[in-house]
Amino acid sequence: MPLGEAMLYLKRAVKRGFGPGINVRLLDVTSRDAQDSWKKERPLPLVIIDGDVVFRGSFSVQQIVKELYRRTKDR
């Protein structure tokens, strides 16, 4: 599965499981935002949750889900 398709699936799953109040973004080298507003953040890809860079360079879906559970538990 291509990375972009996997992130789209993950975004949908996050909305279903954690609600619409959590925003998950992936910025890779082809992303316009990675070349503009997030250009100082390296290495790519970036995983951004609610405006915070959580993972740089590498990540797994399991890591993202663990971070989402941690964040929602604290709310």
- Residue 23 CA neighbour count, 13 Å, CB half: 7
pLDDT at 1: 66
Amino acid letter, residue 56 = R
Instruction: Per residue of the chain (75 residues), give pLDDT as tens.
Output: 677 787 788 888 888 888 888 888 888 878 888 888 888 888 988 899 999 999 998 888 888 889 999 988 866
pLDDT at 37: 85
| Single pTM value for the model | 0.80
Tell me the two tokens of residue 15: 């909305």
CA distance 41 to 6: 22
CA distance 35 to 19: 29
pLDDT at 56: 93
